[in-house]
Amino acid sequence: MRAQKGPKGRIAILTGGGDVPGLNPAIRAITYRAIREGFDVVGIRRGWAGLIEVKRDQEADNSHAVMPLTKDLVESFARTGGTFLHSSRTRPSAVPGKDVPDIMKNRYSGEVNDLTSEVIANLEFLDVDYLVPIGGDDTLSYGVELERNGVPVVAVPKTMDNDVPGTDYCIGFSTCVSRTINLANQMRTSAQSHERVMVVEVFGRYAGYTSLLPTLAGAAHRCLIPESPADIEKVTEIILEDRANNPQRSATVLVSEGATLAGGEMSILGGEKDMFGHAKLGGIGQQVSALIKQLSPKYNDGRKVDMIAMNLGYLVRSGDPDSLDSIVPLVFGNLAVDHILRGDTGRMVALRNGRYDSVPIDTVVAYKKVVDVERFYDAERYRPTYDAFELQPMFVVGAS
């Protein structure tokens, strides 16, 4: 790390949670602007994990946890996907005993440990004046904790699920929607060739934006979202009706990973949970596909319908950002530095009703941002509503 701090102070950037396209452009934007304004910039490696792994010793090598950011370095990653700072799902206020760094095990021996005081001490040791976490509601919720403990924080929202409260848009969402549309359209040719029903599972733990918006754009006939449990019998009847009415004799349904069937629970892969209490989801698409096939004779003159089941998973998360996820991160990064220059911390930059803005950072923990089913989803027909678009934000479902 640099020995000499910038004349206006030091800014630290970290990225937490799942990777998305657009993170590296955001890091670049913050770094370029901050250096030009007289700050120096450091990157915290592996999200909040880096801030619990710092050794508070001037002679120690902390390159595993923190790195200086220069214009040349961030430029080399600017147009690539993912995050060169790496990421994790660490929550310093709830670290399992097995994950406590070795240098702290003599002080923290509980099953779950709050290392917030260590994080604050490490930020002071690193001489960080301002912290810019880039993440979803989990990552940013811990930013709220630090802000309440006196750390100057300006947050940047990112998540493919687009479910961070207070903003209409999160970095990564456009690329996710664009890829979902493209991949669903690409796979449709196989479904049409063999007259099959295609079930495509996409991300979306609690919010169904990533299946609702592609369906609105015509990538699927129906979508199942977490906010509205589905009656599989009714879904089967409707999707086979769609297939029968389609000259190509195929139909597509998008399923959010957090969707549930009436009377059922989320489909969980394994039992281990992360530090935010989340189990890994997956498999609901396969489940829906199998049930539709099982029930299909009832709605297809006694004959079973062949299926295609796909989980898009990391195909929509990896790779380079699209145009929106190249532009929005640049603006969000500059907005974050604007707030720092004004001393206006405790904020999250945002996009609301088509305009760049900011909200108090504790908006992140004020409520859950999910699809308003009554306004935007036809729970009887398992599809978006197609009216009342006037004065809605560009992506239709906003920050309300």
Task: Tell me which amino acid residue 333 is.
Answer: G
Cβ proximity of 236 and 305 under 8 Å: no
Question: Which residues lie closer than 8 Å to 176 by C-beta, 6 or more apart?
Answer: 20, 160, 202, 203, 210, 316, 317
Tally of CA atoms within 13 A in the half-sphere of 155 that contains its CB: 35
Q: Which residues of 153-192 are buried (b: 16+ CB within 10 A; e: fewer)?
A: bbbbbbbbbbbbbbbbbbbbbbbbbbbbbebbeebbeebb
For residues 169 and 350, give the distance between their C-alpha atoms in angstroms, rounded to a whole number.
Answer: 7
Q: Which of 119, 48, 126, 36 is nearest to 74 (CA)?
A: 36
Helix axes 209-216, 173-193, angle to 10 degrees: 60
Q: Which of 192, 182, 227, 197 is nearest to 209 (CA)?
A: 227
| Residue 338 designated active-site | no
The Cα–Cα gap between 302 and 91 comes to 53
DSSP 108-160: --SSEE--HHHHHHHHHHTT-SEEEEEE-HHHHHHHHHHHHTT--BEEEEB-T
Catalytic residue among 19, 129, 137, 161: 161
The Cα–Cα gap between 160 and 356 comes to 19
CA atoms within 13 A on the CB side of 7: 3
Q: Which residues pair with 347 in a beta bridge?
A: 154, 360
The phi, psi pair for 121, rounded to 5°, reads -65, -35
The token duo for 367 is: 């409520």
Which amino acid is present at 2? R
Residues labelled catalytic: 161
